[in-house]
């Protein structure tokens, strides 16, 4: 844990926001320095124990996908080195785990695309045979592949709050019909291209969420992170069996442990503070992140 970065502390730049994982600093009026810490969140609660190396792994994976999908939609990368905007004594906090990006006007929704039925989508399907207002065929099981990817947006929750699934119509009410249609079509294309590539590496991307913003010209721009195990559900092909939760490369390992964790003799109620993660859970989670990146980029 000594080498893990739970929280950055730059003195050369003003801190704008500290999210569940990333710390954002202002670089002038038009750029941000995004530092990926080793924090881990689950059920929208930040764990007290960092996952050593996680921030660097997330950054490498995000940069990989930003580059691979740059022909689909512009992204927020500036191309400038993060090390160029911090003081010499801050380089260790930035090296390999930061991105220098354009400052955008973020859209107030998360663009979720599902190719398989899992998580909250599976729970909702069991109740009404639909997910976020999208009707689905009867007879699907947990982890079933959907006939085609579906777009199921969500609200962006504040720190400590839970994201909430919304219908496409609710998204239209928030950002307007033209922009909503563009976000939906771009998100589905991003997912389809990424999922097809990942499959060649033996990885199923069951679902993922994208975040978008608008630049000064109003151009839709992909931002934050993209297709990391923090924002996506990654399953190894060899462990996939329809009807049960497949083994996972993402933080499902932590979620599964937390579902059984007890606080004061009661199951944890998924509010802060989270129960302390055992060292084995920390180590196994770090290993899963490394394995996902290694397989994708091999």
Q: Are residues 250 and 110 in the same domain?
A: yes
Q: Are residues 138 and 228 in the same domain?
A: yes
Q: Are residues 77 and 112 in the same domain?
A: no
In this prediction, residue 264 carries a pLDDT of 87
pTM as predicted: 0.92
Q: Are residues 50 and 124 in the same domain?
A: no
In this prediction, residue 35 carries a pLDDT of 98
Which ranges of the chain have pLDDT less than 70?
A: 1-2, 157-162
Q: Are residues 171 and 62 in the same domain?
A: no
Is 280 inside any structural domain? no
Q: Are residues 244 and 131 in the same domain?
A: yes
Last residue of a domain, one of 71, 88, 103: 103
Q: Which long-range contacts (CB under 8 A, 24 or more apart) does 235-241 make?
A: 235/143, 235/203, 235/204, 235/206, 236/202, 236/203, 236/204, 236/295, 237/199, 237/202, 237/203, 237/204, 238/202, 240/143, 240/204, 241/143
Number of separate domains in the chain: 2
Q: Are residues 60 and 135 in the same domain?
A: no
User: Residue 87: which CATH number?
Assistant: 3.30.200.20
- Rounded alpha-carbon distances, angstroms, from residue 198 to 110, 153, 214, 247, 296: 22, 23, 28, 16, 7
Q: Are residues 152 and 240 in the same domain?
A: yes
Is 188 inside any structural domain? yes
Q: Which of 134, 139, 128, 95 is nearest to 112 (CA)?
A: 134
Is 289 inside any structural domain? no
Strands (E), the chain: 15-18, 22-27, 31-36, 41-42, 45-46, 98-102, 105-106, 109-116, 130-131, 134-135, 145-151, 154-155, 203-214, 220-223, 232-236, 262-263, 266-267
User: Residue 118: which CATH number?
Assistant: 3.30.470.20
Last residue of a domain, one of 103, 126, 155: 103
Is 6 inside any structural domain? no
C-beta separation of 42 from 255 below 8 A = yes
| CA gap 288, 120 in Å, rounded | 22
Last residue of a domain, one of 255, 273, 288: 255
Write the CB contacts of 8 (distance below 8 Å, at least 6 apart in sequence).
23, 35, 37, 93
Q: Are residues 128 and 239 in the same domain?
A: yes
For residue 178, count other CB atoms closer than 10 A to its CB: 9
Is 3 inside any structural domain? no
Is 294 inside any structural domain? no
The domain of 93 spans: 15-103
Sign of torsion, CA 173 176 178 183? negative
Q: Are residues 150 and 121 in the same domain?
A: yes
Q: Are residues 23 and 122 in the same domain?
A: no
In this prediction, residue 227 carries a pLDDT of 97
In this prediction, residue 2 carries a pLDDT of 47
Q: Are residues 225 and 239 in the same domain?
A: yes
The phi, psi pair for 248, rounded to 5°, reads -135, 150
Is 129 inside any structural domain? yes
C-beta separation of 289 from 229 below 8 A = yes
Is 273 inside any structural domain? no
């Amino acid at each position: 844990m000594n080498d893990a970065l739970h929280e950055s502390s730059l003195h050369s730049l003003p801190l704008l926001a500290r999210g569940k994982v990333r710390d954002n600093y202002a670089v002038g009026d038009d750029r941000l320095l995004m530092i990926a810490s080793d924090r881990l969140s689950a059920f929208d609660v930040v764990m007290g124990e960092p996952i050593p190396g996680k921030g660097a792994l997330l950054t490498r994976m995000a940069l990989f996908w930003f580059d691979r999908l740059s022909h689909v939609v512009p992204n927020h990368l500036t191309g400038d080195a993060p090390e160029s905007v911090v003081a010499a004594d801050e380089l260790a906090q930035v090296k390999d785990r930061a991105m220098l990006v354009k400052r955008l006007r973020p859209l107030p929704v998360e663009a979720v695309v599902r190719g398989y039925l899992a998580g909250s989508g599976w729970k909702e399907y069991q109740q009404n045979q639909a997910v976020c207002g999208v009707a689905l065929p009867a007879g699907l099981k947990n982890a079933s592949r959907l006939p085609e990817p579906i777009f199921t947006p969500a609200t962006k929750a504040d720190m400590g709050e839970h994201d909430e699934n919304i219908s496409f119509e609710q998204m239209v009410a928030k950002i307007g019909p033209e922009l909503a249609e563009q976000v939906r079509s771009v998100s589905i294309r991003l997912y389809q291209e990424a999922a097809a590539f990942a499959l060649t590496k033996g990885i199923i991307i069951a679902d993922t969420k994208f975040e978008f913003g608008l630049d000064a010209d109003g151009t839709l721009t992909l931002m934050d992170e993209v297709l990391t195990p923090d924002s996506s559900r990654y399953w190894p092909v060899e462990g996939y069996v329809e009807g049960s939760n497949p083994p996972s490369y993402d933080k499902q390992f932590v979620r599964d442990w937390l579902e059984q964790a007890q606080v004061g003799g009661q199951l944890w109620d998924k509010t802060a503070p989270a129960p302390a993660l055992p060292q084995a859970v920390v180590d196994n989670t770090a290993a899963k992140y490394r394995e996902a990146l290694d397989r994708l980029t091999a």
